[in-house]
Amino acid sequence: MSIFVVKLDLGGSGPTVAIKDTIDVAGVPTRAGSRAFEDAAPAAANAAVVDRLLAAGYHLVGKANMHELAFGTTGLNAWTGTPVNPRHPAYVPGGSSSGSAAAVAAGLAEAALGTDTGGSIRIPAACCGVFGLKPTFGRVSRDGVMPAQTSLDCVGPFAGDMDALIACMRAIDPDFGALPDTAGVTVGLVEVEARPEIRRAVEAAVAAGGFAAGRVVLDAFVRAYDAGLVVINAETWAACGELVATGRVGEDVAKRLLAASRTTAADVQAAEAVRAAFTAQVDEALRTFPILALPTMADAPPLLESGADTSKLVGMTSLVRPFNLSGHPAIAIPLQGAGDFPMSLQLVAAKGRDELLCAVARQIAGRLDQH
């Protein structure tokens, strides 16, 4: 199934957990799904989040497969193989944290860690029908995680239910506190382009959770999506560009890296202006509605047979990447049985309000289970 690139048997007798292969585990090479790192030396030390999981008694069962260099949204990988999407095998598993989401969906791990630069936790969570959290930017340590420098990337947990996700978050973030009361919390439904049945499922889930809702317009949303890619391109080229010359980077990722190399300082400066404007806009909306809701994906995931054609993948991250640019915490909640393809609800909270985000997500998920 290509879910694990390395199987592990480390740690305590607590919940099982898989670790994305951009996160260091001592004694195991960190290859980021790329043949460019085929000869990488074993990591000298654990990433901070791995040490925290071990200290909390978690049992590490494997390094999880991924889209090469975390630079893609489908999870397809010609070198390591593509993980099967366990619950929706006709569809791509989503990337870049494909193996982490698939491990949870397949029951091979009770939790998993991924990373999210432009949707790389929330997209595979949506494709595979599991929960996935991108915490507030900077909240969870990235010590021992590739790439070393980023203004977007976050380490976060996957799980099959909210209790397991909250427990994993509490393990990797020692400052994660008790969940607050959700009484009186209102939800802003963000106006976005998405399939009508997905929008209906999102609104129904919020209503099922018992939350009063209103409408929110973020007019910088599309510009934030575009600006996010500019920053991703600049930072990924800086981190990985030199690998193209090895000839060991897969053709699809090498093409994207070469295109990214053309990003200029002026492009980045313009993107940073959009970042500031969009962040302010989201902050303002969250002063009226403590939680924002929208789909995680605007359409069905690509079918496996079309996943290699990037021209058919436009919009896969259209609703998630803006919140990497702004740094707000965001969570993907599976909407099981809502349609003929996997659908997912995305919730967003103010920076540092990850506990409130999880409390609202837990309430909605619980009510959906009752239904």
Q: What is the pLDDT of residues 144-193, one digit of tens each?
A: 999 999 999 999 999 999 999 999 999 999 999 999 999 999 999 999 99
Per the structure, the complete domain to which residue 351 belongs is given by 4-370
Tell me: pLDDT of 7 over 60. yes
Annotated catalytic, 134? no
Query: Which residues in 268-323 belong to E strands, given as ranges?
Result: 291-295
Tell me: pLDDT of 312 over 70. no
- Tell me how many domains the chain contains: 1
The amino acid that residue 327 corresponds to is G
Identify the pLDDT of residue 370.
86
CATH number of the domain within which 49 lies: 3.90.1300.10
Is the whole model's pTM more than 0.95, yes or no? yes
The Cα 79–Cα 194 span in angstroms is: 33
Residue pair 346/198 in contact (Cβ under 8 Å)? The answer is no
Q: How many residues does the chain have?
A: 371
C-beta neighbour count of 2 within 10 angstroms: 16
Annotated catalytic, 141? no
Annotated catalytic, 120? yes
Q: Of the listed 34, 63, 96, 100, which one is catalytic?
A: 96
Q: What average pLDDT does the structure give for the chain? A: 96
The 10s digit of each residue's pLDDT in 85-138 is 999 999 999 999 999 999 999 999 999 999 999 999 999 999 999 999 999 999
Q: Which of 295, 328, 317 is nearest to 75 (CA)?
A: 317
The 10s digit of each residue's pLDDT in 214-228 is 999 999 999 999 999
Q: Of the listed 20, 63, 134, 351, which one is catalytic?
A: 20
Percent of the chain with pLDDT over 90: 95
Q: Which two tokens mark 132?
A: 């996935």
Q: Of the listed 34, 97, 100, 120, which one is catalytic?
A: 120
